[in-house]
Structure 1
Amino acid sequence: MAVALEDLLRSLAPQVLGALVRRYGHFDTAEDAVQEALLAAARQWPDDPPADPRAWLIAVAARRLTDLLRADQARRRREETVFRLAYEVPPEIAQTDDSLVLLFMCCHPALAPDAQVALTLRAVGGLSTAEVARAFLVPEATMTRRITRAKQRIKASGLPFALPPPPDRQERLAVVLHVLYLIFNEGYAATRGELLHRPDLAGEAIRLTRLAHRLLPDDLETAGLLALMLLTDARREARTAPDGSLVPMAEQDRTRWNAAQIAEGVELITATLPRGVPGMYQLQAAIAALHDEAVSASSTDWPQIVALYELLMTRAPGPMVALNHAVAVAMARGPLEGLALLDDLTVLEPDHRLHAVRAHLLEMSGRPAAARDSYLKAATLAGTLPQRRYLNARAAQIPDSRA
């Protein structure tokens, strides 16, 4: 029950914040009011659940926002306006989902790109400040200051709470998609904690991306990102065993994959790819489709995946793309060729995924002692408990010849 309530509150938070900002403005103070409403809900709902949770939160947050603004002596000039704010929220406000408007607002060009991403992850994605800080590899206090400055910048800009006109919308879209991508990744593969994934975040990312796709049906990368999320999230249930332990893709029960999501994602990317030069999200969706359409791990079309990763490296080069390319090369041409490609990825030394891949390829190439060391190294760097347990278990399956 507690988990279900927490999931509900997380999904409603950006909708409530959007409704308040649309009606009253004051982004920074509105966020404080929403947080207080969420705390009140956590205390009261278990004993007295409301008939309409979203409307309840909006009403309580609106009353708290009014109180906060009235009590702020530094904002005396607004008091006349604030005094006229009715405690009853207009029906049209409670019935409108402003999450997408809030998303574009957080991606305003007045903010630096890292501030856009951080603010959106916090205000729309529902990540805690600590989780956003981990995504940026900075201390939590630093991220708190960064998010606070971003909110102040939006407030000072006088930006109206509305979707930007089409030309501005296109400028902001790349950041919007990147933010949604980060939110989904944190939900599908959590960076810290006791759980391998956070379905609430992945689901919210998919929901917001659907909204963006409806708003911009002709944008190919928006369609590609939605397809990528659907095709990836389709495997979520099979990624863990009943005890919560990690199950690698090659060992997953593919009958547990979500067939409806796979069909929707495949249809979407199949319709999108021929319409123009594919971008990074379309290419990743095409790779995900090849994995999902394979009836078994052994029947996966690895040569085609290699070709798609090589094209992706020309569109969006980066160390993680290169790492995934190395895995595909190893599966298509043998582990030694894949291992050779890892030598150029020293930038990923602090990342457990590099060492996990190296361990797997070393094991495939018949070098158990080196593989065991790499599994243990990966386990020390892994951020979640299921990852650490899986990597330690793989290491334990390899006898230590030095013992």
Structure 2
Amino acid sequence: MRRPARRTLVPALAAGILLAAGCAPSTRIIYRPEEVREALHERRPDLPVEALDVPFEIPPELAELARRRTALASDPRVRLATLVETVFEVEHDYRSTRPADETFRSGRGDCISATSLFIGLSRAAELDTYFVEALGIEDVSAEYDLNVYHRHVLAAWGAPDRAVLVDFNNIHEDYVRFRVLTDLEAVAHYYNTQGYQALRSGDLELARERFEIAATLAPGLAWIHNNLGVALRRLGRVEQAERALRRAVALDPRHAPAHANLALLLERRGRHEEARQHRDLAERLRRLDPLRLYRDGLRAQRRGDLAAAARALRAAVRLSPRFARGWHDLARVYHEQGDERRARRAVRRALELDPRNRQVRLLARVIDGEDVAGELEPWRREKIGTKAAR
């Protein structure tokens, strides 16, 4: 059963929002739809750019709707909230990645579809919103014997160090940090997600086409080249697949899935020693990745294995000692275990690192024995929990 796309405005975490990788603060972020098409045409003249979807492009009637609904609001935050409500009726459908106008007309779409609709509407209302990706919510999906990555996208407004985030999937509990996307990268995310959906449905040619467009628009994102390598390998184009995967590991030598995929491909081509090297490196990277350990801890906590959750979260904060969210969730696990001494120590560390985070402050009060359930939104009560409520 599909659920409505829940929406929330949340402040950026204390770690802030990172600028796009390799970009100076003056890097251009926002592009007009026709400029996105021009950029693709310059890089790939062979592609029919007139048919390219720019997911945040909206028709004149939707732009007028945005201006009309926000005309009486002088406070930009009120205009933001008004437009969030405009997107409220969109039902979350993870299988549906659509451009803004189709999302509005159909009333359904995934997170990047709802976010793109919001970006288009808010820019029409003269709000300089931009796309952000959540780091730490990378979805590693097992596709037969290969791994495919796709990531969660949300919107932001304001300077990166004090931005308001707009999330249409309400899973920001798992966020670690955020990275500003240029519009070209955001469109690459859109096509990458369509490629992932095509891959799952077995349309390998469509998947390859979508991943190639994504890699053209965002040639510096290793995980998109990894996905392209997966599609090419399944199509039997092993030499092209190897080139794509080698490009991925060259762009990001710490991208474990690309090393793992390259190892599998080399193994099947009879190059066993080189395959072993990439396989061993992938395993070492996984063991040393605090985000992966953090996600392992959350999964263990959700299935009730608190001892495994504590081990994974302890390892994550040892590797990344300034990771406030990791300390927060470690404190929560210790509290659920009844280990109040360790819980207090972990939540104090989270407060030192992120003193303005309301959820960290509430957890500290819970650990001190206060009942704060009445102060939480209903969907968060289960996240923090209290012994008194159990």
- TM-score bracket, normalised by the shorter chain, equals 0.3 to 0.5
User: Quick one: higher RCO (CA 8 Å, sep 6+), 1 or 2?
Assistant: 2
Greater strand share, structure number: 2
Larger Rg, first or second structure (1 or 2):
1
